[in-house]
Amino acid sequence: MDMKATKKKLGMKERYRVLTRDLGWEPGYQSKEAIFPYVRYEGIKVHDWDKWEDPFRLTMDAYWKYQAEKERKFYAIIDAHAQNNGHLNLTDARYLSALKIFLQAISPGEYAAHKGFARIGREFPGVGTQVACQMQAIDEIRHAQTQIHAMSNYNRYYDGFHAFADARDRIWYTSVARSFFDDAMSAGPFEFMIAIGFSFEYVLTNLLFVPFMSGAAYNGDMATVTFGFSAQSDEARHMTLGLECIKFMLEQDPDNLPIVQGWIDKWFWRGFRVLGLVSTMMDYMLPKRVMSWREAWEIYGVENGGALFRDLARYGIRPPKGWDDAEQAIDHMSHQFMLGLYQWSFGTAFHSWIPSDDDMAWLSAKYPDTFDRHYRPRWAHIKKLKAAGTPFKNYGLARLCQCCQLPCVFTEPGDPTLTCHRETVYKGEKYQFCSDGCKDIFEHEPEKYIQAWLPMPALFSELGGDVAAWMDWVNLRDGADNGDYDGSRDQKHFDEWRGLATSNL
Amino acid sequence: MQIDLRTVSIQPQRNAFDHLVRRFGDKPASRYQEGSYDIQAAENLHYRPTWDPDQQLYDAGITRIAMRDWYALKDPRQFYYSTYTLTRARQQDTTEANFAFVESRGLADRLAPELREAVLRLLVPLRHAAWGANQNNTFVCGYGFGTAFTQPCMYHAMDNLGIAQYLSRLGMMLGDVEALDAGKAAWLDGPAWQPLRRYVEDCMVVRDPFELFVAQNAALDGLLYPLVYARIVDDELSARGASAVAMLTQFMAEWFDETRKWVDAVLKTAAAESDHNREVLQGWMAHWSDRAAAALVPVVELVLGVDADEAVAVQIAAFKARIHKTGISF
Ligand SMILES: [Fe+2]
Ligand SMILES: [Fe+2]
Ligand SMILES: [Zn+2]
């Protein structure tokens, strides 16, 4: 018999089914409950895992091939960047503050995503879902590693990068991102998927990565541009996975809708708070600006997010509850946050600075309704203090939100003159929040959020408020890593090296 | 902005990240070190898992193995994502060429029918066993402690999936989709496969990551790969005229030789850590390798018939000798 003549040509979809889904089987010696113990307690009902539509069809042979090509290019470029002192192409070393925050707060999130996707890549009972999650798990460790490798060379020349692993676990502002990822990982598999796969990857990732990577490109940071560019096709897969997952949950059972909506509300607000760091970077930390945070929000939040939620409306999903509060915060958050960072800059492993006159002119043009009225006067005051030799420093205890862990520096929706504080009492203890959104999240799961590790109170209870001891503990080098960029070692070194490299002598 | 930079030599301010200097001294670190050491959150974990509040988010206490430093379990291949993917992409090129060679020469079609039957009977159901291995390594990566130990498990899990897919392609090349259906039916109901399927399913409820590592990567695969790919495919079937099949499984044979070095290194370091660890490992190894051997006898019989017992016995002896070198005797 001529086998060739009889061989069936399988379509792409069928071939992929054979190479993935068909590998699984109904267990006979152990119960499904024992093999997949975590898949029911969140209340999500799935009747038929076979209804899962594979968001992308990538077999391992193709995965290795494509990814290896990207890896070859990536390392060739960052090797060259390191060899040729590519860091001297930066517009200015001030720019590095954004990267330092990224390495301390966001790259550990890539690792957490890796770990979390490995867990749900095992815990979901459907093979198609598992394979897609496993591919994301291996991609995310790639992202953590390429980021560390890309920034490794900056660490050799500039302060603030050297202790990122210590900062991740101990310094105060990283717990904003850490608690976000810890929150997602300590949730069940479906909520993790909504938190990271949907809210973070689909709704918020463009607000994080697009401005960040364009900021890098505008400011001569080829290393970051390269890892961002190299991760793009991975992220496209992650986004389609997140979207497929949410549609799958909503199509499986109408009872899933209120649960999913609750998670969307929660994770939108959690994510929005993490993005506070990005807003500051865009409006203040880029020597050469790309667009304002407001403009980025218009494109990636309002337009893209609006389209997404219009699409999901047919399942009964409405836009996240905090959307309007977010919209109101857009014109304020970067200023409020940068003012906070500047006054607490003794405790940050990156530099901040007083915006120059040019910077302030740009800010008032981009924020005509808020900057001149509310924030320029505060910067002017801080500038005066600095000129008088008594720079403004706040060694006081920042009040941190029990949920998002940011200092409570934000104002009331509708009244930018009033700082927003919320409180709740649970089992006789009082807890503080930055917003209604954060308070609601707490009240929905108080037993979870009372466990939060809050870095500021920990400093005072464990180290008795001894700032020097705290700096040792977080591995922050006073006078090098922290404080004002103006007069810093980074500034001195960059100017000197760049002078050497560009002078004709 | 691209400015014209003269080549200047400027003095680096430091050699490496602090956590690497603390581990390896004040010198430049390798990319493996940068991508592996201390990149898992270690302190001030915020919340207990709602899926099991008795655990911490990263919990070294969910296995009976105890390590002062989990990062001691390093991978001798020093695989991080990049070196891993580049290695597999190279192997994939070879595998693709092998498949193309067999296909273009019509070598599969020239196999004697009984030989083709034997190959399908043995290799196709193994795609399900490889899927089980994928599940188990994904678990070890997800719940194990410390990147040095867990990162290779993710790579291993993806390899397991790749192997399941190569076996599926082999099945389709030799016997079309019907061969896969028949293989799955045998995996589900064929008496020869039930002990192995039971073994795999029993592994899927083991929630001690290190025990699972031993049961899957040492005990089961340590016997299965040499028996199936070396003893049966490379020796027996090639001698009977099916060397084309050996070309299609070259990846599996090479992969086993490479990965066992990693498995051995992990076992050796864990066993050398303490008497307690060694005893636990000995217990697991005895238990799971006994079961694995028993489960593999009927599978090997499918091709070797009455010679199966002896083939398995020979392999058990070789496996014991291999594992003894890691300090674990059983
Ligand atoms: Fe990522
Ligand atoms: Fe991602
Ligand atoms: Zn908050």
Of B43, B142, B159, the CB nearest to A115: B142
Q: Name the residue among A96, A105, A145, A164 with its Cα closest to residue A351.
A: A96
Give B132 to chain A, closest Cα distance, Å.
Answer: 8
Contact between residue B213 and residue B145 where contact means Cβ atoms under 8 Å apart: no
Helix (H) or strand (E) holding B230: none
Q: How many Å apart are CA A27 and CA A46, to the nearest integer? A: 18
pLDDT of residue B55: 96
Q: What is the CA(A179)–ligand 3 centre distance, in A? A: 11
Give B322 to chain A, closest Cα distance, Å.
Answer: 30
pTM summary value:
0.97
pLDDT of residue B4: 61
Q: What is the CA(A140)–ligand 2 centre distance, in A? A: 6
Is this prediction's ipTM beyond 0.90?
yes
- State which amino acid sits at residue B143: Y
Question: Is B23 in the A-facing interface, judged by CB distances under 8 Å?
Answer: no
Q: What average pLDDT score do residues B297-305 get? A: 97
Contact between residue B71 and residue B37 where contact means Cβ atoms under 8 Å apart: yes
Q: How many Å apart are CA A129 and CA A127, to the nearest integer? A: 5
Q: How many Å apart are CA A74 and CA A408, to the nearest integer? A: 40
Question: Is B137 in the A-facing interface, judged by CB distances under 8 Å?
Answer: no
Q: What is the CA(A110)–ligand 2 centre distance, in A? A: 7
In A, minimum Cα distance to B93 occurs at: A65
Contact between residue A170 and residue A455 where contact means Cβ atoms under 8 Å apart: yes
Beta carbons within 8 Å of A298's beta carbon, 6+ residues apart: none
Contact between residue A103 and residue A80 where contact means Cβ atoms under 8 Å apart: no
Q: Which residues of B touch A71 (CB under 8 A)?
A: 81-82, 85-86
> Which DSSP state fits A53?
P
For testing contact with chain A, the best of B19, B141, B150 (most A CBs within 10 A): B141
pLDDT of residue A2: 43
Query: Tens-digit pLDDT profile for chain A (505 aa)?
Result: 344 445 667 888 899 999 999 999 999 999 999 999 999 999 999 999 999 988 889 999 999 999 999 999 999 999 999 999 999 999 999 999 999 999 999 999 999 999 999 999 999 999 999 999 999 999 999 999 999 999 999 999 999 999 999 999 999 999 999 999 999 999 999 999 999 999 888 878 888 888 888 999 999 999 999 999 899 889 999 999 999 999 999 999 999 999 999 999 999 999 999 988 889 999 999 999 999 999 999 998 888 889 999 999 999 999 999 999 999 999 999 999 999 999 999 999 999 999 999 999 999 999 999 999 999 999 999 999 999 998 887 776 678 999 999 988 888 888 888 888 999 999 999 999 999 999 999 999 999 999 999 987 777 777 887 889 999 999 999 999 999 999 999 999 999 999 887 775 4
Contact between residue B250 and residue B98 where contact means Cβ atoms under 8 Å apart: yes
* SS3 per-residue string spanning A313-328: HHHCCCCCCCHHHHHH
pLDDT in tens, B234-269: 999 999 999 999 999 999 999 999 999 999 999 999
User: Does the pLDDT at position B3 exceed 60?
Assistant: no
pLDDT in tens, B85-139: 999 999 999 999 999 999 999 998 899 999 999 999 999 999 999 999 999 999 9
pLDDT in tens, B308-320: 999 999 999 999 9
- Cα-flanking dihedrals φ and ψ of residue B267, to 5°? -65, -45
Q: How many Å apart are CA A351 and CA A479, to the nearest integer? A: 10
Q: What is the CA(A102)–ligand 3 centre distance, in A? A: 20
Would you call A158 and B8 a contact, using CB atoms and an 8 Å cutoff? no
Contact between residue B65 and residue B218 where contact means Cβ atoms under 8 Å apart: no
Q: Which residues of B touch A114 (CB under 8 A)?
A: 154
Q: How many Å apart are CA B296 and CA B315, to the nearest integer? A: 11
Tell which CATH architecture fits domain B79-324: Orthogonal Bundle (1.10)
Q: Report CA dihedral (A395, A401, A403, A404) to the nearest 10 degrees.
A: -70
Helix (H) or strand (E) holding A424: strand A422-426
Q: What is the CA(A147)–ligand 1 centre distance, in A? A: 10
Of B15, B51, B177, the CB nearest to A18: B177
Give B76 to chain A, closest Cα distance, Å.
Answer: 18
Q: Which residues of B touch A38 (CB under 8 A)?
A: 51-52
- Cα-flanking dihedrals φ and ψ of residue A278, to 5°? -70, -40
Q: Which residues of B touch A451 (CB under 8 A)?
A: 46-48
Q: How far is CA A486 from CA A100, A173, A453, A483, in A?
A: 17, 22, 33, 9
Q: What is the CA(A278)–ligand 3 centre distance, in A? A: 16
Domains of chain A by start residue, with CATH: 67-353+392-397+466-502 (1.10.620.20)
> Which DSSP state fits B6?
P
Would you call B161 and A131 a contact, using CB atoms and an 8 Å cutoff? yes
**A-contacting residues of B 193-232, CB under 8 Å?**
197-198, 201-202, 204-205
Of B5, B161, B205, the CB nearest to A60: B161
Residue bearing tokens 């597999």: B88
Q: How far is CA A6 from CA A271, B167, B168, B175, B176, in A?
A: 54, 20, 18, 10, 9
Question: Is B98 in the A-facing interface, judged by CB distances under 8 Å?
Answer: no
Q: In whole numbers, what is the pLDDT of chain B averaged over residues?
A: 96
Which has more pLDDT, A34 or B4?
A34
Of A59, A145, A186, the CB nearest to B47: A186
Contact between residue A137 and residue A114 where contact means Cβ atoms under 8 Å apart: yes
pLDDT of residue A390: 87
**A-contacting residues of B 171-200, CB under 8 Å?**
172, 176-177, 180, 184, 187-188, 197-198
Residue bearing tokens 């815990």: A123
Question: CA A116, A13, A20: angle at the middle one, nearest 5?
Answer: 45
Question: CA B217, B140, B257: angle at the middle one, nearest 5?
Answer: 25
Contact between residue B292 and residue B199 where contact means Cβ atoms under 8 Å apart: yes
